[in-house]
Structure 1
Amino acid sequence: MTASRYRAAFCETAVECLSKGYSLAVLAGELDVARSTVSAWMAAHPAFAEAVARGRAKGAKVWEDRLAAAASGKGAGNATVIAFALKQIARDDWGEARADAPPAGPGVAVTVEFVRPGHADRADS
């Protein structure tokens, strides 16, 4: 097994790259390693994982600014595409809720009943 190419200086590269709104795949390209190597370094080096988290947070701001501008009509861009990017970069804040995940807050049970217009098919009619 060869020695890891990881260097502490990669933390700065991670923050710089990710703060522009780029993905971990782009970071891997900047570091000239595979995407899986970036994940392994995040697991093995807490400082690198922290740098990635800080860079991603800054990158989320870039995309949220773009979304706000597009939504207000003051900026170019497709809001759907921008929201998709945010779901990838800032999953904790923008990701879709999983069906097996508990609700985010207190829930209220709701019953929905569909009745065809003009028909008294309801049991309480």
Structure 2
Amino acid sequence: MSKQELPVVDLNAVACCSPIAVRPMDADQAAVVAPMFKALGDPVRLRLMSMIASVPEMCVCDLTPAFDLSAPTISHHLKVLREAGLVDSERRGTWVWYRVKPEAFRQLGALLDVSAAPTAGSAA
């Protein structure tokens, strides 16, 4: 795994993109959105995301025991999710609490909306 830092995703840049079923993305738009999908493309991060999304917020102390991984590895995965703009975190005493950034998922959902796609046989 690469040691390079991931850029923090600007959610305003993601909002600029129309659904992919309506118009193809340009290279700049794809470069903005790709880190979010890359972050979700790992099974551990996808599980972490589903755990965090299932409640208003979750302590890292509740996330770590759910995996057969070290605490530093879980922290790395959470950092990737945070840098991708998918979660927020807040330190409270010795623990860090995580919560989903709903706007990020609304924007990804809108991007993946295929309901506006032209249907077969319609005029293009």
TM beyond 0.5: no
Which is helix-richer, 1 or 2? 1
- Shorter-chain-normalised TM-score: which range? 0.3 to 0.5
Which is strand-richer, 1 or 2? 2
> Relative contact order: is structure 1 or structure 2 higher (C-alpha 8 Å, sep ≥ 6)?
2
